Structure 1
Amino acid sequence: MSDLRSQGLEILRRLTGRQDADFHPGQWEAIEALVAGHRRALVVERTGWGKSAVYFVASLLQRRAGFGPTLIVSPLLALMRDQVAAAERAGVRAAAISSANVTEWDEIRGRLAADSVDVLLVSPERLVNPRFAAEQLPELVERMGMLVIDEAHCISDWGHDFRPDYRRIRDLVAALPPGVPVLATTATANSRVVTDVAEQIAPASAHRDGSADDDVFVLRGPLARDSLRLGVLTLARPELRLAWLCEHLAGLQGSGIIYCLTISAAEDTARALVEAGHQVRAYTGRTDAEERTELEAALKDNRVKALVATSALGMGFDKPDLGFVVHLGAPSSPVAYYQQVGRAGRATDSADVLLLPGPEDRDIWRYFATSSMPSQERADAVLAALAEGATLSTPALEARVDIRRNPLELLLKVLAVDGAVERVSGGWRATGRPWVYDAERYGRIAAARRSEQDAMEHYERLDSCRMAFLTSQLDDPGSAACGRCDACAGPWYPTDVDPDQRARAQVTLDRVGVPVEPRRSWPSGLDRLGVALKGRIPPAEQAAEGRVIARLSDLGWGGPLRDLFRTDDQGIPLDAEVPGPLAGACLRVLSDWDWDLRPAGVVAIPSVGRPGLVGSLARGIARAGRLEYLGALDLAPGSGRLDPRVNSAFRVRDVCDRFRVGEDLAAGLTRLDGAPVLLVDDLVTSRWTMAVAARLLRRSGAGTVLPFALGLSG
């Protein structure tokens, strides 16, 4: 054992680049359990503790003993890049297979065949790739020296960032030959997640004799982060939060991350900070892979003060000297918050963490929570579509089931993990295995999510130690007052907002006018729904680029728009005339619109849910612009409210015969003699209502059709 530890210490010192480095308490014990005991291990330690050192040292010791390569299942490309670089510093020959390096796959396969790879990193999604699963995974399983599951809380339904593809790892663990060590690591697991993960990685023999808990080596360290100074500053209005950040960002130490809950909020915040003279960039789900790599490097090299990010800058981003993390809007759980703020102060004595919550946070949490949960009805629809035995791509399935792309892809992953469908070349097919919706399980998960949201709001109102509260949410038995947060030591941050800065922030948020791109092609598969439309929409039948005041998720006008589009307790829209401030914003958008020819008339889209709102909007625009109000399209008898959750194919089916051009409207279009018209609605969701209505007007003699609405969802 002493010789083994000496070898491990030598590897650790190469990894860290320090000849005085030694193992942290628990590191060698975990390595010893894996290498000497060939055991299953779960390591729950705070961010920056050195979990990666455990699996790199153990991997190289395994290789020296003649075992095969280690397979590391890692959730994010950024994490893979950092891990490959860290491994190479320790002399570990590492490679990654991901969507970002497709051109290197053949070379990596050759290196694996030549046994010149010590560590292979893959994403959990790669495990379900048909070619990888068929050609490489079986040989890897047979030769594998160790399996590592990074960010292992993703295995558990109860983890704050559960991912369906991670549940496949249980099958991978079960397929391992006896004696292959397994390591699961995370910084964010409470007792329920620890128990769940331990059961999933335990050997099959342990499940048979009921000793799963005893057979897994579990290492749980203290989770409090001494370097972090936590605080919460509650400012009621979005312009106050943005003004505070514009005024005080320069005073935060070093460089850091500003987290926002939505893409629009991140983009708005980044733009405002740049205009205030700060070096920041936006990093969101819309940022392409190459730009993400460049932005991560810019932050690591301190070439920017901050990245203004959504959760797209997530697990695995590693900048040890990150000086601060600020949240404009709170994550939906204390555990998720702990993970995000844990990116600061890993290798510094002090880092600042500040939360600026908003009253809209819970609405955003609710949207993301409901969009990610599967349902019996949706699962039955997918399985029925695949029951004919055909292999269907996701777009082809979309035309057969009434589910949008992202929820559909998530549901397919759940069904695949449960064995009801499988991904094959060309798409998805049913396996024939029955699938039963576990209502009790999903009900318990939904209840847990609501409890987490309540706890997050409680964190915002705390008058006791914030760090102790966060670690207690992770069931850390050593939770104790930190003496540094604003509840322990008083506010460490400025609480004032300069009136001039607030005025500038208000001007930034007061901007109006978001372009709405027209639809140019019909969704595929409409013929299966009885709709005789396909291919590109002829240019002479397309809508032009439209405008809305703002997106519902925008920091500025998003708030008034969300209030306007609220529903009652039964989900019925609240109908009213356009409020004065929004009416003024409409006129500003129209005034700034750089159209080629000014519209001569206004046409309204008939509304079932908000007829008063749409009617007052269309007539008001016509009066203010001295345009002819041509009236509304006729609504087909029996038309009800449209469901905003349907996918593109079903939305076109629902609206293709919904409208008619009545005699009075047809006469008005004739009078205008091909002049442009403004097509007015209250809210743009899918853009298909505007596309179908514009096509109808163009075919009835209208010139350019310019869509206009108050808001854009998303």
Structure 2
Amino acid sequence: MTSNAGTAGIRDQALEALRALVGRPDAVFHDGQFEAVEALVADRRRALVVQRTGWGKSAVYFVATLLLRRAGAGPTVLVSPLLALMRDQIGAAERAGVRAVAINSTNAHEWADVLEQLDRDEVDVLLVSPERLNNPAFREQQLPALVRRIGMLVVDEAHCISDWGHDFRPDYRRLRDLIAQMPSDVPVLATTATANSRVVADVAEQLGTSGAHTEGEPSGSGSEVLTIRGPLARSSLRLGVLRLPDATSRLAWLLSHLDDLPGSGIIYTLTVAAAVDTARLLRERGHEVRAYTGQTDPDERAESESMLKRNAVKALVATSALGMGFDKPDLGFVLHLGAPSSPVAYYQQVGRAGRASESADVLLLPGAEDRDIWHYFATASMPDRERAERVIAALGDQPVSTPALEAIVDIRRTPLELLLKVLDVDGAVRRVQGGWIATGEPWSYDAERYGRIAAERLAEQQHMVEYEQTGGCRMEFLQRTLDDATAVPCGRCDNCAGVWFPTEVGSAAAAAATTSLDRVGVPIEPRRAWPTGADRLGVPVRGRIDAAEQAGEGRALARLTDLGWGGTMRELFAAGAVDGPVSPSVLAACVRVLADWGWAERPAAVIAMPSRSRPQLVESLAQGLASIGRLPYLGALGLADGGPTGGPGGNSVFRLAGVWDRLSADGIDVPAGPVLLVDDMADSRWTLTVAARLLRRAGATDILPFVLALRG
């Protein structure tokens, strides 16, 4: 350990660097900041800093970098998860005289210059995204040289290391391999604002160490992670929970009271559809808001962030895509329409508010559908044994591209890419130039590990339910759930000080919310091109679909994820739901969709898709629409060779192969005009595409697909 004189010298240098960083000659370290710097610079430790948002975690690694560089160390490598966070970090570094550059997916044209700067030792901090660690060129060409010269490794937002920290992000698990290649005396710092004991243990495991101990406790092995944990209480936050019966009531409350919330803020939703629908309703009622999701154009996201920082909008209605890296110190409120699935995620999001103000309001409006949404996202990111074995078996020693592999293993692109990353980290496959290969290394499904993760997810979901229902202090509950030993009642939340938010809903707002949620009609974009690799499965098509054989733009009554009719659709298509005739209310809603369609030419007839799971529903819907529209109903398409194979969830190539040549128009007098083609649900749209091709070849001039529900 360092001597007192050595500590004093380091403190003086560190304080000088800190004051340059923040631009204040009177700045002093927060509790724990210098201790972290000293552990990294003097003792070359591996440290985890768990401190609330706004505490100054970036100051630790920038100050430590300056001191290490002065001592002759190489550049710091900072693994940062978000591009927006990188931009903020580079700006902060420049203020302290730290030369920082980034390598990420948006600046490939600058990589050569960055590498030259590294060669000339003109870079103090290199920021990389975790995804870079999975890039073959970076791993093979740039990373070895970096490892030889690295002065410090920093992992920002370290809760992403955890198996349940950030959508099961496998790129972070590769950090263990990186650390194993580094000299043992290179310090490592992991930082986060949200970590319970489980996350701390996950971080220690991925840092390749024997465990973790908290500052002030006896240390066993020198390889342990030093954990510097501060109190997580945020005295500026006023927490509350308002339980309302349904989505209509929640939206009506928001319409009634959005302007009562202080300043500008964030309204979080659990799905993209909810964010878009909520933002649309608020705008229609005169509120300045914008939707912000992972599907929003990057330039529009950046513009929306800027508008919120300038208070040019009242709120961004956002999914979890807006979180880490967004910094507005005076954010006035955070409101949730639906609860996140864990206290870690919830604290991370509410931590955006009140960072530099005396008061900020945090209100949760949980929904009855929250558990279903949690379950969907939890299972979507979990590796599956059978799928993993299928992928490994399909690969050899010659590279196979992801699109080509998709055509072999019947897994959709996004889950396939996630699974490949997991298998890559596990050593079973490897990404190389041109695609993926199997390594030949033994691999077995770690059922115990994934079972543990699943159990932990369920436990954390239950903690969120308990947070909603607790009669005690809400801030204290969050702190204890995050294993903060300093937890005490806050004296400000709705349970400590009484309900601070209005609970009534205005009648006009309720009517507006009801009208908005009763809105029907979602466009169905037609397929324009055949999927790559279809010929490998005996489907003799490729390239663009002939315009004379395409379907026209279709309509769905609603998405399964919609706030309004989506709920009715989820009940209708729930596992175990009994088939039966379409209800009068659903049929009436479908008629409204058709009335608003605005097609170029009215349909000449109605034809139903054949259905093995819901024949009564589809036939009664098609017959009902034909009767109300006074159109001839020509019956349902026939099933050839047993009908379509497979079910929902496969990728495009297999979905197309499963329906190709399995439909028949025999016995149907197809008119020379537009045909309204009726089905229960659209998912991949290949069934509708093949049916449209069949009917257009039989003489129809256009196909207008109509379905009750659009998946996703």
TM-score, normalised to structure 2, is 0.96
| Mapped pair 1:372 → 2:384 | no
Q: Give the AA of the match of 1:577.
A: P
Q: Give the AA of the match of 1:533.
A: V
Q: Distance in 2 between matches of 1:700 and 1:246?
A: 51
Q: Is the 8 A contact 2:645 2:658 kept in 1?
A: no
What does the per-residue CA deviation read over 1:451-473, in whole Å, with 9 as the maximum and x for residues that have no partner?
Answer: 11122112111111111111111
Q: Give the AA of the match of 1:682.
A: D
Q: Is the 8 A contact 1:160 1:335 kept in 2?
A: no
User: CA offset at residue 188 of structure 1?
Assistant: 1.5
| Structure 2 equivalent of residue 684 of structure 1 | 682
| Structure 1 equivalent of residue 227 of structure 2 | 218
| Mapped pair 1:154 → 2:160 | yes
Q: Distance in 1 between matches of 2:236 and 2:606?
A: 60
Q: Distance in 2 between matches of 1:619 and 1:151?
A: 56
| Structure 1 equivalent of residue 400 of structure 2 | 392
Residue 239 of structure 2 aligns to a residue whose secondary structure is strand
After the TM superposition, which residues 451-530 of structure 1 pair with which residues of structure 2 at under 5 Å, given as runs?
Answer: 451-530=459-538
Residue 325 of structure 2 aligns to a residue whose secondary structure is coil
| Mapped pair 1:383 → 2:381 | no
User: CA offset at residue 3 of structure 1?
Assistant: 2.5
Match of 2:343 among 334, 338, 341: 334
What does the per-residue CA deviation read over 1:226-269, in whole Å, with 9 as the maximum and x for residues that have no partner?
Answer: 11111111111212111211221111111111111111110111
Q: Distance in 2 between matches of 1:63 and 1:435?
A: 42
| Structure 1 equivalent of residue 544 of structure 2 | 536
After the TM superposition, which residues 237-252 of structure 1 pair with which residues of structure 2 at under 5 Å, given as runs?
Answer: 237-252=246-261
| Mapped pair 1:660 → 2:664 | yes
Q: Is the 8 A contact 1:158 1:192 kept in 2?
A: no
Q: Distance in 2 between matches of 1:159 and 1:307?
A: 24
| Mapped pair 1:602 → 2:606 | yes
| Structure 2 equivalent of residue 587 of structure 1 | 591
| Mapped pair 1:192 → 2:188 | no
User: CA offset at residue 611 of structure 1?
Assistant: 0.7
| Structure 1 equivalent of residue 711 of structure 2 | 713
Residue 679 of structure 1 aligns to a residue whose secondary structure is strand
What does the per-residue CA deviation read over 1:391-436, in whole Å, with 9 as the maximum and x for residues that have no partner?
Answer: 1111111100111111101100000001111111121111111211
User: CA offset at residue 205 of structure 1?
Assistant: 12
Q: Give the AA of the match of 1:253.
A: P
| Mapped pair 1:361 → 2:370 | yes
Q: Is the 8 A contact 2:607 2:678 kept in 1?
A: yes
| Structure 2 equivalent of residue 62 of structure 1 | 68
User: CA offset at residue 204 of structure 1?
Assistant: 8.5
Instruction: Report which stretch shifted further, 529-538 or 190-199.
Output: 190-199
Q: Distance in 2 between matches of 1:205 and 1:239?
A: 48
User: CA offset at residue 548 of structure 1?
Assistant: 0.8
Match of 1:408 among 412, 416, 424: 416
Q: Distance in 2 between matches of 1:698 and 1:640?
A: 19
Q: Is the 8 A contact 2:520 2:593 kept in 1?
A: yes
Residue 38 of structure 2 aligns to a residue whose secondary structure is helix
Residue 399 of structure 1 aligns to a residue whose secondary structure is helix
Q: Is the 8 A contact 2:644 2:663 kept in 1?
A: no
| Mapped pair 1:280 → 2:289 | yes
Q: Is the 8 A contact 1:239 1:502 kept in 2?
A: yes
User: CA offset at residue 50 of structure 1?
Assistant: 1.1
Q: Distance in 2 between matches of 1:174 and 1:483?
A: 47
Q: Give the AA of the match of 1:677.
A: V
Q: Is the 8 A contact 1:160 1:333 kept in 2?
A: no
After the TM superposition, which residues 103-142 of structure 1 pair with which residues of structure 2 at under 5 Å, given as runs?
Answer: 103-142=109-148
TM-score, normalised to structure 1, is 0.96
User: CA offset at residue 319 of structure 1?
Assistant: 1.4
Instruction: Report which stretch shifted further, 427-436 or 634-643.
Output: 634-643
Residue 358 of structure 2 aligns to a residue whose secondary structure is coil
| Structure 2 equivalent of residue 98 of structure 1 | 104
RMSD of aligned residue pairs (Cα, Å) = 1.7
User: CA offset at residue 486 of structure 1?
Assistant: 0.8
| Mapped pair 1:698 → 2:702 | no
Residue 5 of structure 1 aligns to a residue whose secondary structure is helix
| Mapped pair 1:303 → 2:309 | no
User: CA offset at residue 192 of structure 1?
Assistant: 2.1
| Mapped pair 1:675 → 2:673 | yes
| Structure 2 equivalent of residue 574 of structure 1 | 578
User: CA offset at residue 200 of structure 1?
Assistant: 3.2
| Mapped pair 1:552 → 2:550 | no
Q: Give the AA of the match of 1:98.
A: N
| Structure 2 equivalent of residue 611 of structure 1 | 615
| Mapped pair 1:35 → 2:59 | no
User: CA offset at residue 17 of structure 1?
Assistant: 2.1
User: CA offset at residue 15 of structure 1?
Assistant: 1.6
| Structure 1 equivalent of residue 3 of structure 2 | none
User: CA offset at residue 390 of structure 1?
Assistant: 2.3
Q: Is the 8 A contact 2:343 2:464 kept in 1?
A: yes
| Structure 2 equivalent of residue 633 of structure 1 | 637
Q: Is the 8 A contact 1:680 1:708 kept in 2?
A: yes
What does the per-residue CA deviation read over 1:183-211, in whole Å, with 9 as the maximum and x for residues that have no partner?
Answer: 011121111221232243256999xxx95
Q: Is the 8 A contact 1:94 1:119 kept in 2?
A: yes
Q: Give the AA of the match of 2:76.
A: T
| Mapped pair 1:44 → 2:50 | yes
What does the per-residue CA deviation read over 1:311-352, in whole Å, with 9 as the maximum and x for residues that have no partner?
Answer: 111322211111111111111112111111111111111111
Where do 5+ consecutive residues of structure 1 fail to align?
A: none
What does the per-residue CA deviation read over 1:562-593, in whole Å, with 9 as the maximum and x for residues that have no partner?
Answer: 1111122xxxx421221222111100110111
User: CA offset at residue 526 of structure 1?
Assistant: 1.2
Instruction: Report which stretch shifted further, 426-435 or 646-655.
Output: 426-435
Percent of aligned pairs with the same residue? 66
Q: Is the 8 A contact 1:263 1:310 kept in 2?
A: yes
| Structure 2 equivalent of residue 264 of structure 1 | 273
Q: Is the 8 A contact 1:40 1:202 kept in 2?
A: no
- Per the alignment, do residues 239 and 429 of structure 1 end up closer, same or farther by CA in structure 2, a change over 3 Å counting? same
Q: Distance in 1 between matches of 2:400 and 2:550?
A: 30
| Structure 1 equivalent of residue 173 of structure 2 | 167
Residue 651 of structure 1 aligns to a residue whose secondary structure is helix
Residue 67 of structure 1 aligns to a residue whose secondary structure is coil
Q: Is the 8 A contact 1:71 1:119 kept in 2?
A: yes
Match of 1:77 among 83, 86, 109: 83
Q: Give the AA of the match of 1:93.
A: R
- Per the alignment, do residues 682 and 479 of structure 1 end up closer, same or farther by CA in structure 2, a change over 3 Å counting? same
User: CA offset at residue 281 of structure 1?
Assistant: 0.8
What does the per-residue CA deviation read over 1:259-318, in whole Å, with 9 as the maximum and x for residues that have no partner?
Answer: 111111101111111111111111111112222222212212222111111111132221
| Structure 2 equivalent of residue 565 of structure 1 | 573
Q: Distance in 1 between matches of 2:520 and 2:65?
A: 56
Residue 326 of structure 1 aligns to a residue whose secondary structure is strand
Q: Distance in 1 between matches of 2:642 and 2:448?
A: 37
